[in-house]
């Protein structure tokens, strides 16, 4: 029996057509990203994506309240004829493009906005007071819908199924974890996610293999003393002084107990207590965040934060209780990029924007709940250039003046779509290798 008959036999056993992996040359595969980009840059397509993004921008919704955003996503998927499941984790939507058969590869976007007031005056400013898409999740959704449309249009070249994951509550709510628990990504072999970067020019992307973003936890502590007259301190137990010493001691954890080469951070961002010039209050509440890259360092910080708060409060005769707010704000693991997927990204992104526009970046102490996906499967997260060409000092993420350059949208859509398409192609081209092995054995 000749090799080609073996291939045919084994393909039949695996229920795939031998044509699925032998009809695309590597040149054709490398042309996928640029073809997708051309497609996404067409005026009608671009205007549609911009329209979707602006509509979401005008109506920002907080974590687990993304009802209108979720509805808009489902309406757009309906128009494209893409089947989906809903709801996952309250508002989450999961769409499916391609053969409906394995392998499965996922693309992810987050839907939630931030509890802050938009200060930028423009035509499509947030219409919801105190809520704003200042982290670009409006663009993330628009780009994943863009990718959905590209993929649906080219579904005959998909050698498997692309799973489109629209998740709620990235900003502290751990929506990704709830999507996983609800079974949104069962059988998925790999997942890709992106984040806009308002400081990086359009047409550039950046990421790195291994640790990219830190693990993140929150804490809140109530330090109680005994209130009284400010002029008679001997009759009171002053929680303001105790809390101040607690904060100073917390700042010694990273500087004195952590390896200087193992990046960690603790910030107390909340200090509430007292309301009068001449009154010692009963208690003070402080709150903050802590970050680290390794699980060991993270858990060590967590343990020491509690010990230091309780111990230092005692020094000043106060009592303290510490809450890590696990149920409202789950700990986010570190975002760690899979090394093979990094190589995949370099190839695909290089084909679309040119290798000189694919930058390797330093890790950041920021965090992302994409990391929950990476705990259960290989995942890859990268940053996409969205810098306003005219801005000399663009507003950062989470700024009330945050602004993206919509010219970056086609790049995000095309990158998403090509990363998935090429991943499925390569997964399938692993089949002949498997055949070869079997052939040798037989």
Ligand X SMILES: *[C@@H]1O[C@H](CO)[C@@H](O)[C@H](O)[C@H]1NC(C)=O
Known binding residues for Mn(2+) are: 135, 137, 171, 195, 398
Q: Considering only residues 205 through 224, tell me which ones interact with ligand X, judged by CB under 6 A.
A: 224
Rounded Cα distance, 221 and 316, in Å? 15
Do 421 and 32 meet the contact criterion of CB atoms below 8 Å apart? yes
Integer angstrom CA distances of residue 323 from 219, 225, 272, 383: 6, 18, 15, 33
* Pattern 263-302, ligand X, x by CB under 6 A: ----------------------------------------
Rounded Cα distance, 408 and 435, in Å? 42
Contact between 225 and ligand X (CB under 6 A)?
yes
* H helices present in 203-255, as ranges: 239-252
Min separation Cβ 302 and ligand X, Å? 23
Comparing CB distances to ligand X, the nearer of 179 and 313 is 313
- The residue among 70, 94, 114, 63 whose CA lies nearest residue 186 is 94
Question: Angle, nearest 10°, between helix axes 137-153 and 26-41?
Answer: 120
Cα angle 108-292-209, degrees, rounded to a multiple of 5 = 50
- The residue among 137, 63, 192, 52 whose CA lies nearest residue 404 is 137
Q: Considering only residues 232 through 251, tell me which ones interact with ligand X, judged by CB under 6 A.
A: 237
Min separation Cβ 72 and ligand X, Å? 51
When CB distances to ligand X are compared, the closest residue is: 319
Contact between 136 and ligand X (CB under 6 A)?
no
Comparing CB distances to ligand X, the nearer of 283 and 405 is 283
Comparing CB distances to ligand X, the nearer of 60 and 225 is 225
Integer angstrom CA distances of residue 50 from 44, 46, 59: 10, 6, 14
- Tell me the number of residues near ligand X by CB under 6 A: 6
Q: Cα Rg for the chain, rounded, in angstroms?
A: 25
> Contacting ligand X (CB under 6 A), which of 158, 194, 318, 349?
318
Min separation Cβ 224 and ligand X, Å? 5
Binding site, annotated residues: 135, 137, 171, 195, 398
> Contacting ligand X (CB under 6 A), which of 35, 251, 272, 319?
319
Min separation Cβ 250 and ligand X, Å? 20
Q: Which residues bind ligand X (CB under 6 A)?
A: 224-226, 237, 318-319
């Amino acid at each position: 029996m000749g090799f080609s008959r073996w291939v045919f036999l084994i393909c039949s056993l695996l229920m795939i057509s031998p044509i699925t992996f032998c009809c695309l040359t590597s040149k054709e595969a490398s042309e996928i990203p640029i073809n997708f980009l051309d497609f996404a840059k067409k005026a009608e397509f671009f205007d549609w994506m911009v329209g979707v993004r602006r509509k979401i921008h005008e109506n920002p919704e907080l974590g687990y309240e993304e009802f209108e955003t979720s509805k808009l996503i489902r309406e757009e998927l309906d128009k494209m004829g893409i089947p989906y499941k809903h709801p996952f984790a309250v508002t989450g939507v999961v769409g499916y493009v391609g053969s409906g058969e394995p392998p499965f590869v996922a693309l992810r976007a987050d839907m939630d906005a931030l509890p802050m007031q938009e200060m930028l005056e423009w035509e499509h400013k947030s219409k919801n007071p105190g809520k704003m898409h200042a982290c670009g999740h409006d663009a993330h959704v628009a780009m994943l819908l863009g990718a959905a449309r590209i993929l649906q249009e080219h579904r005959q070249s998909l050698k498997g199924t692309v799973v489109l994951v629209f998740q709620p509550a990235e900003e502290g709510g751990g929506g990704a974890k709830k999507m996983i628990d609800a079974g949104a990504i069962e059988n998925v072999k790999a997942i890709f996610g992106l984040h806009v970067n308002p400081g990086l020019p359009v047409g550039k992307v950046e990421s790195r293999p291994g640790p990219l973003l830190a693990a993140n936890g929150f804490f809140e502590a109530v330090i109680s003393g005994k209130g009284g007259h400010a002029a008679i301190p001997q009759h009171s137990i002053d929680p303001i002084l105790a809390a101040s010493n607690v904060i100073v001691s917390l700042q010694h954890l990273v500087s004195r107990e952590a390896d200087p080469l193992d990046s960690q951070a603790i910030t107390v961002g909340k200090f509430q207590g007292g309301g009068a010039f001449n009154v010692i209050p009963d208690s003070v509440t402080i709150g903050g965040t802590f970050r680290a890259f390794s699980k060991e360092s993270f858990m060590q910080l967590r343990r020491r934060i509690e010990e230091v708060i309780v111990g230092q409060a005692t020094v000043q005769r106060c009592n303290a209780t510490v809450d890590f707010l696990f149920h409202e704000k789950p700990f986010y693991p570190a975002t760690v990029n899979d090394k093979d997927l990094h190589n995949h990204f370099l190839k695909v992104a290089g084909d679309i924007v040119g290798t000189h526009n694919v930058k390797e970046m330093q890790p950041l102490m920021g965090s992302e709940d994409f990391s929950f996906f990476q705990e259960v499967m290989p995942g890859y997260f990268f940053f996409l250039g969205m810098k306003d060409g005219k801005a000399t000092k663009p507003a950062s993420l989470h700024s009330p003046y945050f602004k993206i350059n919509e010219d970056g949208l086609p790049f995000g859509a095309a990158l998403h779509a090509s990363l998935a398409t090429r991943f499925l192609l390569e997964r399938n081209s692993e089949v002949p290798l498997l055949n070869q092995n079997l052939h040798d054995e037989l």
